Chains A and B, each alone.
Chain A
């Protein structure tokens, strides 16, 4: 297929490369030219704008930071809608509010462009290994048409429901991973403060009911004190902000997510925003006066 790709960051770059490996022709554009270079080197088509990308493609994929960026790419001047050929499918794989996804989809529909919201889970590792979980909302026929592209980027691909449903699933994912990483950090800090070897605690718990992928992966990185992203804390903060705004709109009590969102606020406010979410451990250590690497090292 002729595929346009916009948003060549930590996630987008390996995803686009995987599409090329699967035999699709990929056309790229980026506001920052240097982020296009690795794709151009691999043989991707060089485009001058999002509209230019759309004019050469049957499907355009975007994965950018936030709702205003998606709006700009899709509907802004020289955006996808300006260059789209009849029947174009626009897939947004960014994490944005369900209501924002629905609103953009509705405006694109007026211009005969089908939009799927298809946020992902699995991080940079999943993007490189083409093992992402992809949660899709939108029209079933459009989904079937572009399914081979999803299969080239991810392992678990699910059509959840109508427009916005993919973002709802992603919001649920962010509640679980956000609260999960906070719980693992609290447990690791608790073990250490109690004078117990946190590595042994983790190992023991992995065999029981507290097993989780977060305990396995994030727990390991906490033990190694490897706070390099991964998934930056400020992005998790942004995602939980979306969750909490939706909860406000719906009249929905999310007490655990609310507490966790405040922890992420504290991370961003105290300069940990560019670390991985596992740096939640550092925040807890500071709160309990025991940050390691400040004591000794």
Chain B
């Protein structure tokens, strides 16, 4: 297939490579030309605009940062929609607001094309190993047609519901995961306050009911005090801004998520935005110093 890809960052780059290795021809567009350098010498085609990219492809993937970026890319001047046509599909794997995803999908539907919101969980490691969890919103028949492509990127591919449903699932994922990171940080902080060995506590807990992926991976980072990302906490902070705003709009109380959000705010204020989210431990430590 002729496959477009925009957003060749930590996540996007290995994902694009997997698609290429599976025998698809890659079409690329990037705001900064150096982003496509890793594909020099391959048969990947670089285009001058998202519109040109769309016109040359059957399906185009995007993995970028914010709702505004995706909307600009999809619907802006020289956006994907100007090269879209009936049967063409935009798969957005960014984490954005469900309302944005629905808006973009409606615009593509109106011109006979389609859009899937397909955010992922699993981080850079999952992207490299092609073991991502992919949560999909949009038309089921479109997903079935593209399932072989998504299978190049992830292991768990779930159709959650209509447009925006993938983003809702991703918001739930972020709430559970970051709340677990905060719980893990608080446990480590308590152990530390008692002068108990953190590594020993973590190993003991991993054998019991509190065992979790977060305790395993982020707990390890906290024990080693290795806060180099990982996942930059500013991205989790961004996600919490979106999901808490949606919760207010819906009149849904999220008391724990609201507290976790405040800890993330404090981490941003302390200059920790580029650190891994396990640095939430440092927020607790800063609040405990006299």
Contacts of B263 in A (CB 8 A): 253
Known: A248-B261, A253-B263. A261 touches B268 (CB 8 A): no
Across the two chains, which residue of chain A brings its CB closest to B247? A265
Query: Does any Cβ of B come within 8 Å of A269's Cβ?
Result: yes
Q: List the one stretch of A42-50, A157-165, A186-194, A237-245 in contact with chain B.
A: A237-245
Query: Does any Cβ of A come within 8 Å of B23's Cβ?
Result: no
Query: Does any Cβ of A come within 8 Å of B110's Cβ?
Result: no
Show 27 residue pairs from A and B whose CB-CB distance is below 8 angstroms, ordered by the A residue. Answer: A237-B248, A244-B248, A244-B258, A248-B237, A248-B240, A250-B269, A251-B268, A253-B262, A253-B265, A253-B269, A255-B259, A258-B259, A259-B258, A259-B259, A261-B258, A262-B247, A262-B254, A262-B255, A262-B258, A263-B253, A265-B247, A265-B250, A265-B253, A265-B254, A269-B250, A269-B253, A273-B251
* Interchain pairs with CB closer than 8 A, number: 70
Known: A237-B248, A245-B245. A262 touches B265 (CB 8 A): no
Query: Of the candidates B240, B251, B269, which one forms a contact with A265 in the assembled complex, judged by CB atoms under 8 Å apart?
Result: B251
In the assembled complex, the Cα of A262 lies from the Cα of B175 at a distance in Å of 15
In the assembled complex, the Cα of A270 lies from the Cα of B250 at a distance in Å of 10
Q: How would you classify the secondary structure of chain A's contact residues: helix, strand, loop or mixed?
A: helix
Contacts of B265 in A (CB 8 A): 247-248, 250-254
In contact, B258 and A269 (Cβ under 8 angstroms): no
Give the contacts of B257-290 with A (CB-CB under 8 A): 258-259, 261-263, 265-269
Contacts of A270 in B (CB 8 A): 251
Query: Does any Cβ of B come within 8 Å of A100's Cβ?
Result: no
Contacts of A269 in B (CB 8 A): 250-253
B184 CB to nearest chain A CB (Å): 19
New A-B pairs, 16, CB < 8 Å, besides A245-B245, A247-B262: A241-B245, A244-B248, A244-B258, A248-B241, A248-B265, A250-B265, A251-B267, A252-B266, A253-B263, A253-B266, A254-B265, A258-B258, A258-B261, A259-B259, A265-B247, A265-B253
A233 CB to nearest chain B CB (Å): 10
Contact with B along A259-285 (1 / 0, CB 8 A): 101110111111001000000000000
Across the two chains, which residue of chain B brings its CB closest to A267? B251
In contact, B262 and A251 (Cβ under 8 angstroms): no
In contact, B262 and A265 (Cβ under 8 angstroms): no
In the assembled complex, the Cα of A258 lies from the Cα of B258 at a distance in Å of 6
Binding site for A on B (CB under 8 A): 237, 240-241, 244-245, 247-248, 250-255, 258-259, 261-263, 265-269
Contacts of A273 in B (CB 8 A): 251
Across the two chains, which residue of chain B brings its CB closest to A260? B258
In the assembled complex, the Cα of A96 lies from the Cα of B262 at a distance in Å of 22
Known: A265-B254, A266-B253, A269-B253. A258 touches B262 (CB 8 A): yes
Across the two chains, which residue of chain B brings its CB closest to A234? B251
Query: Of the candidates A253, A255, A268, which one forms a contact with B251 in the assembled complex, judged by CB atoms under 8 Å apart?
Result: A268
Contacts of B240 in A (CB 8 A): 248
Query: Of the candidates B241, B253, B267, B269, which one forms a contact with A262 in the assembled complex, judged by CB atoms under 8 Å apart?
Result: B253
Across the two chains, which residue of chain B brings its CB closest to A270? B251
A251 CB to nearest chain B CB (Å): 3
In the assembled complex, the Cα of A76 lies from the Cα of B262 at a distance in Å of 36
In contact, B251 and A245 (Cβ under 8 angstroms): no
In the assembled complex, the Cα of A290 lies from the Cα of B75 at a distance in Å of 52
Across the two chains, which residue of chain A brings its CB closest to B234? A251
Contacts of B258 in A (CB 8 A): 244, 258-259, 261-262
Contacts of B253 in A (CB 8 A): 262-263, 265-266, 269
B38 CB to nearest chain A CB (Å): 34
Residue of A245, A253, A267 most packed against chain B (CB within 10 A): A253
Contact with B along A217-247 (1 / 0, CB 8 A): 0000000000000000000010001001101
Contacts of B244 in A (CB 8 A): 244, 248
In contact, B262 and A261 (Cβ under 8 angstroms): no
A117 CB to nearest chain B CB (Å): 22
A105 CB to nearest chain B CB (Å): 23
B99 CB to nearest chain A CB (Å): 15
